[in-house]
């Protein structure tokens, strides 16, 4: 039997790429140090201390010290669904996350959480995907389409705030067709 999820107190997000500003002299950075502080404040504005955040990949481009520091700054209990930039070993990631997994299924909601949507294999009938990874587009008009079958929860597309599972499902349900 799987874990029960409170749809309004379980949040999903991805691709903050914390500490990316330290790489490449900021030339290819996802955000600046100042923007990162704003992103932390935005996260904490919607995530309570006891909320659960299912973080769907590409959390931090720094080291173990960065993981520990960020974990203390960010509200909520956190589970990491690893992304292509989460290169530290699982044992290191557990200093910031309650659990570290490659992907996650929420059977009672028929949901699959995985960083790269195209990597989801063996979908069950009607199973829907919550994913990240698609954030490198420059224009908001290039935002990945939400469909009845999938939603991208990259922080960039959601105002740098995690969204609740209830909201992710509502957005997929609202798509016509």
Domain segments of the chain: what residues? 10-173
Q: pLDDT tens per residue, the chain (177 residues)?
A: 457 889 999 999 999 888 765 554 444 445 677 888 999 999 999 999 999 999 999 998 878 888 899 999 999 999 999 988 877 788 888 889 999 999 999 999 999 999 999 998 999 999 999 999 887 655 556 678 899 999 999 998 999 999 999 999 999 999 986
Which residues, including other chains, have CB under 8 Å from residue 159's CB and lie 6 or more apart? 42
Contact 95, 52 (CB under 8 A): no
Query: Count of CB atoms within 10 A of residue 9's CB?
Result: 16
Selection from 20, 30, 10 nearest residue 168 by Cα: 10
Place of tokens 């960039």: 156
Q: How much is the pTM?
A: 0.89
Q: E strand or H helix at 96, and its extent?
A: none
Fold of 10-173: Purple Acid Phosphatase; chain A, domain 2 (3.60.21)
* Separation CA 162–CA 164 (nearest Å): 7
């Amino acid at each position: 039997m799987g874990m029960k999820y409170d749809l309004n107190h379980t949040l999903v997000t991805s691709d903050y790429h914390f500490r990316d500003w330290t790489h490449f002299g900021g030339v290819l950075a996802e955000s600046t140090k100042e923007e990162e502080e704003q992103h932390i404040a935005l996260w904490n504005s919607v995530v309570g201390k006891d909320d659960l955040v299912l973080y769907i990949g590409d959390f931090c481009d720094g080291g173990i010290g960065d993981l520990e520091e960020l974990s203390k700054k960010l509200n909520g209990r956190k589970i990491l669904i690893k992304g292509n930039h989460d290169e530290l070993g699982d044992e290191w990631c557990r200093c910031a996350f309650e659990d570290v997994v490659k992907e996650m299924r929420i059977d009672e909601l028929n949901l699959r959480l995985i960083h790269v949507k195209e990597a989801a294999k063996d979908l069950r009938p009607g199973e829907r995907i919550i994913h990240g990874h698609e954030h490198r587009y420059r224009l908001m008009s290039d935002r990945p389409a939400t469909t009845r079958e999938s939603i991208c929860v990259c922080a960039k597309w959601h105002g740098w705030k995690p969204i609740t599972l209830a909201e992710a499902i509502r957005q997929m349900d609202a798509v016509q067709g």
